[in-house]
C-alpha cells in the first residue's frame, strides 16, 4: 500500500510547481482561474487528500481545539460540546472531544494527547482542583479556557454560578416547608459539587451529605439506601437524581409527599421522569459557545486579548418532585 498522492504528485500532473498547488489550497484567489481549475482537476483525478500532519508541522498551528469534558454520559456536557463545536466550526476550527470521566489521570492523559497534537487551544472542565498541569500547558504556549469553572483573572472562563444554584434549591425547599435535606454528591474535589452544597447550606437548611464516588445513576441508586430521616433530597446532578428516584420509588417512598427530590442541570430526561424532576437549568449550549469564542479570540489575537470570566445565572425549574 503506497502512500497516497501528495501535493507533489498533483503538481506534476497539473504541470505547475508545488507552491502553486499549496496556493490553490490556501489562497485560491491568488491563483489564476485556469491554473486553479487544472490543479483542482488533478486533485480529483488523483484522489488527493491533504496531509494535515505535514501542514501543521510546518505551519505551527493545527486549526483544531481540544475539549475535555467531565462526563460525556451526562447530557449537560454533550450540550456544552455542541455549543463548542458550533462556534469552532463557524471559524473553521475542528474540535477534538475527550472525556475525562472525572478522573484526574484521564484528564492528564488527554491534555498530553492534545498538546502532542499541537491543538491551538484547549477547553477544559477540570476534573481536578489542582491546575498545575494547566499552567504548564499555558507556559508552553497553549491557551486554555476553563468551562463550567470560574478562573482567576489570568485566564478566561465561562461558568454558571453554582453557589447561586444551590441557594435556589435551598430557598425553594424552605418555601415548601422542607427542613432536613440530604445532599447526594460527589467528592468535594469536584468544585461543582462543593459549590452547590455550599449554596444549599447558605440558606440555613439542615444538610446531611451523602457522598458517592461517581456521578452516575447507578451510584445514586445505591446511595438512596443511605438517605434516611429527611424530607428532601438534593442531588448534585439529574443523572444521579434519577437513580435516586428509582430507588425511592422501589422502596415505596412517595415523592414528593414523603420526600421532595431536586436535581441539577435540567436535562431533557428530568421532565419525563416517573415524578417529573425539579431541577436547575443551566445554559449549556451557550456556555460552550461562549467559552469557545473566548478561546478563539485569544488564539487569533493573543496581543489584544483580554481575559474574561463570564458567569451565567442558573434558573430554578419546579416540577412535581417538589410538589409542582
Partner DNA sequence: TCCGTGATATGAAACGTTTCATTTCCTTGC
Partner DNA sequence: GCAAGGAAATGAAACGTTTCATATCACGGA
Question: Which residues here bind a copy of itself, judged by CB under 8 A?
Answer: 1, 3-4, 47, 49-54, 56-57, 60, 62, 72-73, 75, 78-79, 81-82, 85, 94, 96-99, 112-113, 115-118, 136, 139-141, 217, 239, 242-243, 245-246, 268-269, 271-276, 302
Kindly state whether residue 19 participates in binding DNA, applying the rule CB under 7 A: yes
> By three-state DSSP, how is residue 18 classified?
helix
> By three-state DSSP, how is residue 160 classified?
strand
Identify which of residues 30 and 53 has a Cβ nearer to a copy of itself in the complex.
53
Identify which of residues 170 and 243 has a Cβ nearer to a copy of itself in the complex.
243
Bridge partners of residue 315, in order along the sequence: 281
Kindly state whether residue 30 participates in binding DNA, applying the rule CB under 7 A: yes
Judged by beta carbon distances under 5 to 8 A according to partner kind, the member of DNA, a copy of itself, none in contact with residue 307 is none
> By three-state DSSP, how is residue 293 classified?
helix
Kindly state whether residue 22 participates in binding DNA, applying the rule CB under 7 A: yes
Among 13, 40, 48, 232, contact with DNA (rule: CB under 7 A):
48
Main-chain phi, psi angles of 94, to 5 degrees: -100, 160
Among 32, 301, 303, 306, contact with DNA (rule: CB under 7 A):
32
Judged by beta carbon distances under 5 to 8 A according to partner kind, the member of DNA, a copy of itself, none in contact with residue 19 is DNA
Q: Is 76 exposed, middle or buried (0-12, 13-18, 19+ CB in 10 A)?
A: buried
Identify which of residues 26 and 300 has a Cβ nearer to DNA in the complex.
26
Judged by beta carbon distances under 5 to 8 A according to partner kind, the member of DNA, a copy of itself, none in contact with residue 204 is none
Cα–Cα distances in angstroms (integers) from residue 178 to residues 163, 226, 231, 270, 322, in the given order = 19, 19, 6, 21, 9
User: What length is written for the chain?
Assistant: 324
Judged by beta carbon distances under 5 to 8 A according to partner kind, the member of DNA, a copy of itself, none in contact with residue 32 is DNA
> By three-state DSSP, how is residue 185 classified?
strand
Judged by beta carbon distances under 5 to 8 A according to partner kind, the member of a copy of itself, DNA, none in contact with residue 141 is a copy of itself
Cα three-residue angle 254-258-263, rounded to 5 degrees:
80
Identify which of residues 4 and 204 has a Cβ nearer to DNA in the complex.
4
Contact 198, 207 (CB under 8 A): no
CB of 90 to DNA, least distance (A): 21
Name residues contacting DNA, limited to 57-96 (CB under 7 A): 57-60
Main-chain phi, psi angles of 206, to 5 degrees: -85, 115
Contact 70, 87 (CB under 8 A): no
Main-chain phi, psi angles of 59, to 5 degrees: -75, -25
**Binding positions for DNA, rule: CB under 7 A:** 3-4, 6-8, 15-23, 25-26, 30-32, 34-36, 48, 50-51, 54-55, 57-60
Amino acid at each position: 500500500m503506497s502512500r497516497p498522492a501528495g501535493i507533489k504528485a498533483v503538481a506534476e500532473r497539473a504541470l505547475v510547481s508545488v507552491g502553486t498547488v499549496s496556493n490553490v489550497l490556501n489562497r485560491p484567489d491568488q491563483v489564476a482561474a485556469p491554473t486553479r481549475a487544472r490543479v483542482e482537476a488533478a486533485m480529483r483525478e488523483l484522489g488527493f487528500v491533504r496531509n494535515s500532519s505535514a501542514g501543521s508541522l510546518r505551519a505551527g498551528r493545527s486549526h483544531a481545539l481540544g475539549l475535555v469534558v467531565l462526563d460525556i454520559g451526562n447530557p449537560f456536557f454533550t450540550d456544552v460540546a455542541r455549543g463548542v463545536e458550533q462556534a469552532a466550526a463557524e471559524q473553521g476550527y475542528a474540535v477534538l472531544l475527550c472525556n475525562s470521566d472525572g478522573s484526574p489521570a484521564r484528564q492528564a492523559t488527554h491534555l498530553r494527547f492534545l498538546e502532542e497534537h499541537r491543538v491551538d487551544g484547549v477547553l477544559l472542565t477540570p476534573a481536578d482542583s489542582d491546575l498545575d498541569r494547566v499552567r504548564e500547558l499555558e507556559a508552553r504556549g497553549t491557551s486554555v479556557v476553563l468551562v463550567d469553572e470560574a478562573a482567576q483573572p489570568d485566564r478566561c472562563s465561562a461558568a454558571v454560578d453554582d453557589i447561586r444554584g444551590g441557594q435556589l434549591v435551598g430557598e425553594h425547599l424552605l418555601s415548601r416547608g422542607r427542613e432536613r435535606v440530604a445532599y447526594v454528591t460527589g467528592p468535594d474535589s469536584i468544585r461543582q459539587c462543593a459549590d452547590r452544597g455550599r449554596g444549599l447550606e447558605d440558606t440555613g437548611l439542615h444538610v446531611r451529605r451523602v457522598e458517592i464516588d461517581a456521578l452516575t445513576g447507578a451510584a445514586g441508586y445505591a446511595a438512596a439506601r443511605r438517605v434516611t430521616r429527611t424530607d428532601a433530597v438534593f442531588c448534585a446532578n439529574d443523572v444521579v437524581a434519577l437513580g435516586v428516584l428509582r430507588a425511592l420509588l422501589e422502596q415505596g417512598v412517595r415523592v414528593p409527599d414523603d420526600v421532595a427530590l431536586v436535581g441539577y442541570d435540567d436535562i431533557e430526561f428530568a421532565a419525563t421522569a416517573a415524578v417529573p424532576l425539579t431541577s436547575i437549568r443551566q445554559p449549556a449550549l451557550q456556555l460552550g459557545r461562549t467559552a469557545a469564542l473566548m478561546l478563539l479570540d485569544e488564539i487569533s489575537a493573543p496581543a489584544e486579548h483580554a481575559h474574561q470570566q463570564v458567569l451565567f445565572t442558573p434558573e430554578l425549574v419546579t416540577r412535581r418532585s417538589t410538589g409542582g
